[in-house]
Amino acid sequence: MIYRKSVVILTALLTTFSCFAGEISLPDYHLAVTLPNGWQQVADTNTGILVRAQSDAGQLRFVFSRPPIPMEPAPVQKVEFQNGVKQSFIDKGFTKILQSKVIKIAGTDAYLCEAARADKPDSIIQVVWFHEGHSISLVFLSLAKPFKDVPDVLTIIDSVKILPKS
């Protein structure tokens, strides 16, 4: 009887932990993202947040968002668009721009910007692109180490995919 209870508890724990990592499908938005092992999804009821997750005891944070307001797609290659993203970082105290480039997300051009604070180890990455008339963002925040030491960030970025419309 004790063995059976232990198996039931162990199975429940394994099921709980195994749901933390892996693909998260967002069929309403025709998108999916995969969290690597060690990342846990965190509940978030804020409007526009599709996925919120963390790793490294909360020292690494991730938000996948789609603001609820439709936007006219903007070319992410345009300097004006990129400067707007950079300025939003500067306004929040991330004054040191480390990376600024156009990348591909699921075959679509996206703008990636990485910035850091001058006086703290905090750094942030935002990847922005347009999908189905809305801006989509991946935002990563590191409170302790540079992103070059966090390969999971690129893994998550590379895992984003567009799901077929049903």
The model's pTM: 0.84
Tokens linked to 3: 């063995």
Query: Given this model, what pLDDT does residue 68 score?
Result: 82
Percent residues over pLDDT 90 in the chain: 73
Amino acid at 149: D
User: What's the Cα-to-Cα distance from 4 to each of 58, 62, 111, 121, 146, rounded to whole Å?
Assistant: 34, 38, 52, 48, 46
* pLDDT computed for residue 4 by the predictor: 34
54 versus 2: the higher-pLDDT residue is 54
pLDDT reading at 84 higher than 80: yes
Does 158 have pLDDT greater than 50?
Answer: yes
Give 114's contacts (C-beta < 8 A, 6+ positions apart). 97, 98, 99, 100, 123, 124, 125, 147
* Domains annotated on the chain, with CATH: 23-162 (3.40.1000.10)
